[in-house]
Each structure stands twice: as C-alpha cells, then as structure tokens.
Amino acid sequence: MEPGNTPLVEMPGLAPAGTRLFAKLEWYNPTGSIKDRAAWFMFQDAKKRGLLPDGKPLIEATSGNTGIGLARLATVNNHPISICLPNTATPERKQILRAYGAELIEVEGGPNGAIAHANELVEAGHGHTVYQYGNPANPAAHEFGTAPEIARDWPLPEPPDHLVCAYGTGGTITGNSRGMRRAYPTINVHSVEPFVADPIGGMRSQDDPFQPPVADLSLVTHRWEIETQLATTMVQTTMDAEGHFVGTSSGAVLHAAQLLLEKHGGTAVAILPDAGWKYLSGAPWAG
C-alpha cells in the first residue's frame, strides 16, 4: 500500500477569530505517520538505483517514525533491518518496530548519537542506509506528493497565506515549501522547532550543532520555538475542540499555527506528522 492521499480538514475550534486553520492529517498513512511518505520514496529510489539488492540488510538512524515506515517495507520485501534510535524513544515506537521485525539498537546521545552509530555500522559494511537526513528522495516525497495533494484539496478560492511544518530531518518542510510555492508563490513558510534544551521527539532546532544536509532553511520565512509543555497542552486542547488525538509534534505545530494566525491573520495549512497513540506512555497520559 502506497502512502498518501491523507485528509485535509478544517479546524475551526482552534482558529482565532477572523482566521481559518486547515490541517493535513498524516496519521492516515499506512504505519500512522508522515514518515511513510519519505520511507516509500527513499526505499523505491534505492531499489531502482541498484543500491538495495534483494536480501541486503538495511540500517537507519531514526527517532522512530521513519524507522517504522522502513521496517514495514523491509519486512514485506525480505530485507533484514536494523534501527538505531535514541534510548529515550517511547516504548510504543519500540514495540511497533519489533512487531515489524526490526532489530533495535538503542543509542545514547539523542538523534545525533543514533546517526553516528548507524554511520559506523554502514562504514563497517553491515548494510545499506537510505540516510533520511541527506537523501533527496526525502523532500521529493513531499514536493511531489504532500504539497500537490494540499493544492488539489484546498477548498478556498484564495490561496493559503501560511504553511506550518515541524522541522525534523528537514525533508517535510523543504519539500512542502518547494511544492507549495510552485502552487502558491506568495505563501509564508513557518518552521516549528523545540528549544535545544527542551526536545520534542522527532523535531530538531536550527540551533542544534548538526543540521541535516537535506534541509534548505532558506525557504523558511518564520521560525517558531515551542516549549514541550505548550505542545502537550495543545494535544489536549485539540482533543477537546476537534476530537483529534494528535502527537506532541502535531501539538507544537498547532500551537505555532494559533500564534501566527493571532499575529498575522489569514489562512494557514498545518501539516500534522502523527497521532498520539505512540506516546501514551509519556506525560501527561501515563498514570
């Protein structure tokens, strides 16, 4: 099953007065996140280019969702897969990865530690990595997939004023910026980020020492740094107002969307990476 064609819905319960907020619900992808798109594009690209012959092991560094998407593809195509992920990843993501048959290598040092360890394994000849942080197929998944879907489904006669994306690998914000600007040249692009000292799973700050090569931050017109507590609070607010159980990164995106609409007005599209089911063991849900 190919990812894509996820719903674009309006969220009037979250939009400040006089504005309109729409959200792209990416948990409707096969394994429940936007990373299914990048995983599909990168996997198919590697197969077409002969970089991943039948049976060759895959190795990937991930905070969870890209690894889950790749593990699904590896399993059905008979590739062993090893996932290097931070030891802080939620138990739910680890359980899903194991269910798909992935070998888990838990690493200290957060996402950057996972990247370093995966690179060591690849250099030692243990398998192929699609390296989501530097693979052009990652943003291509959004430039030629997600963004055209938004443009196709946009319900208003006037173009959207704002695009709001979480910054992680850089693939989502780079690819969607390119695709949306092709359709709507005047759109403002908003990067949503955590503070370095207050991380949110799957997201990255522009202040982090490592910046993914795939990211083109020259496309960003506004940057919003969101505290973890505010992102978590927005998860509950979204459930109460709209009935959608979003993940923490989606909560951060929606909080930033509210702030920018209060400040700038107009219409916004918020891309929501995943739902909250993979985070139930964390605050505030753990009892």
The pair of structure tokens assigned to 219 is 């496309």
> What is the C-alpha to C-alpha distance for residues 28 and 22, in angstroms, rounded to an integer?
16
Of 24, 33, 35, 250, catalytic: 35
- Concerning whether 35 is annotated as a catalytic residue, the answer is yes
> What is the C-alpha to C-alpha distance for residues 58 and 81, in angstroms, rounded to an integer?
5
- Concerning whether 250 is annotated as a catalytic residue, the answer is no
H-assigned helices in the chain? 35-48, 65-76, 91-99, 110-123, 137-141, 147-153, 171-183, 228-242, 248-264
Of 33, 205, 249, 250, catalytic: 249
Among 199, 191, 192, 169, residue whose Cα is nearest residue 252:
192
Please report, for residues 48, 88, 149, 155, the alpha-carbon distance to residue 26 in angstroms, rounded to integers and kept in the order given.
Answer: 26, 23, 12, 18
- Is the CB of residue 210 less than 8 Å from the CB of residue 242? no
> What is the C-alpha to C-alpha distance for residues 67 and 80, in angstroms, rounded to an integer?
12
Among 76, 127, 71, 73, residue whose Cα is nearest residue 99:
71
CB contact set of 67 (below 8 Å; sequence gap of 6+) = 60, 81, 83, 85, 93, 97, 102
> What is the C-alpha to C-alpha distance for residues 62 and 222, in angstroms, rounded to an integer?
26
CA angle (35, 39, 45) in 5-degree steps: 150
CA torsion, ordered 177, 178, 182, 188, to nearest 10 deg: 20
Could you list the active site residues? 35, 249
